[in-house]
Structure 1
Amino acid sequence: MFSLSDATRKKLKAVSTATVATCLFKKGLKNQFIQGVVPLKKGKPTMVGEAFTLRYIPAREDLNPISVFKDENHPQRVAVETCPEGAVLVIDSRKDARAASAGSILATRLMKRGVSGMVTDGGFRDSAEIANLDFSSYHSAPSAPTNLTLHQAIDINVPVGCGDVAVFPGDIIIGDDDGVMVIPSNIAEEVANECLEMTLFEEFVMENVQKGDTIIGLYPLTNDSIKVKFEKWKANKKTSS
């Protein structure tokens, strides 16, 4: 699985999902925002990590009784115990939040193992408890019933669909208060660098808009004199830092 460098991880933690979305759109990637998921609690640090996936299929009653958890190789349990430190567990629950994808015990175990967070296009039970963990979690809605009632864990670390987005193992997941973006691993460093530059430019734009300047020629940057002004501002900012 692709391993994110510490430097690239740090850069991505400093940018927003909105900026990543625009950057990926410029590269022709229009469908990288996981639809319908929200953070259980806003205001947490930006979540960044490599995707480690768990896939559910519709449960079949004769194959999915509660006794399946006696199997130490049950895919859900294996996923929780093998998701790498710093990664994000991405769960394909087929956009079905009628039964929980996981609960607070599994979330706590992931947190204690150093996992960065978890995302499902279904729901989590014990959502208030998970929200208060030092751990980032995203779902579509709270859900009390056990996953076994509707979901059958079938695969780990395979390509999945989560919120209408294709997620491959090792893709980079970034989540903030707006939601979750998926960055193809082969362009992660490139995207991180471009997004840092975009974030710097947006800071420059906001400073000028706060002063009362028009956005015409400024945002997007089409005025050559403003381009010169931005380069000087950027140089001064680097010098002062």
Structure 2
Amino acid sequence: MKIKTTDLCDQFSDQIHVCEDIFQSFGKRKNFYGPIHTVKVFEDNVLVKQALETIPSGSVLVVDGGGSKQCALLGDRLAGIAAERGLAGIIIYGCVRDTADLAKLDIGVLAIGKNPRKSRKEGKGEAGIPVSFAGIQWEPGHYVYADEDGVVVSKTKLSSHGNHSRKT
């Protein structure tokens, strides 16, 4: 089901938070949504990989990378794992690499930039905790909706009935 963030804003304005417009889209899928799972890391993607290998299909991994643009936290191999497992998307407050390959993978990938340098592999960070960036408090279990118009977050799953009840 394709959900438009503009419709969600119109229909549920009192229930959603709109993310600051800081992300670029790198994945093939431009429209995605799902329950939020979080990791907080800094220039180290070990916990990103672990989360992509374990969170449920249909989920969105939200990565608080501290806004670092010094290295990439996701490339084609990790995004490939996420796509194969049926995750809806990945939102990274940090960078990605292998962008030409990411564009071919059927998954949503949002990040603040790109950098060809790989990250450290030390396993430092935290998973499953609230994180805050882009004007949003990202809580595990809340829902995120993303498309070409932006990113919105809600405490609960929303369905936009306005799209389906219009007469043509």
Q: TM-score normalized by structure 1?
A: 0.61
Residue 16 of structure 1 pairs with residue 4 of structure 2: yes
Residue matched to 2:36: 51
Residue matched to 2:117: 145
Residue matched to 2:57: 85
Instruction: Rate the CA distance shift 1:23–1:97 in 2: closer, same or farther, 3 A.
Output: farther
Consecutive aligned runs of 4 or more in structure 1 exceeding 6 Å deviation: none
Counterpart among 132, 150, 159 of residue 179 in structure 1: 150
**Could you list the runs of 5+ residues in structure 2 that have no partner in the other structure?**
none
Structure 1 residues 111-169: Cα deviation after superposition (integer angstroms, max 9, x where no partner): 111111111121101111111111111111111122229x9741112111242311111
Name the one with the larger helix percent. 1
Residue matched to 1:210: none
The answer to whether the 8 Å contact 1:90/1:162 transfers is no
Work out the number of aligned pairs and report it: 168
Relative contact order (C-alpha < 8 Å, sep 6+): which is higher?
2
Residue matched to 1:76: 48
Residue 126 of structure 1 pairs with residue 98 of structure 2: yes
The answer to whether the 8 Å contact 2:5/2:149 transfers is yes
Residue matched to 1:39: 25
Q: CA RMSD in A?
A: 2.8
Residue 95 of structure 1 pairs with residue 95 of structure 2: no
Q: TM-score normalized by structure 2?
A: 0.84
How many percent of aligned residue pairs carry the same amino acid?
23
Instruction: Rate the CA distance shift 1:80–1:200 in 2: closer, same or farther, 3 A.
Output: closer
Aligned residue runs from structure 1 range 156-235, under 5 A: 156-185=127-156, 188-189=157-158, 192=159, 195-197=160-162, 199=163
Structure 1 residues 81-106: Cα deviation after superposition (integer angstroms, max 9, x where no partner): 11211101111112223321211100
Instruction: Rate the CA distance shift 1:97–1:24 in 2: closer, same or farther, 3 A.
Output: farther
**Could you list the runs of 5+ residues in structure 1 that have no partner in the other structure?**
1-9, 202-233
What SS class does the counterpart of residue 118 from structure 1 fall into? Answer: strand
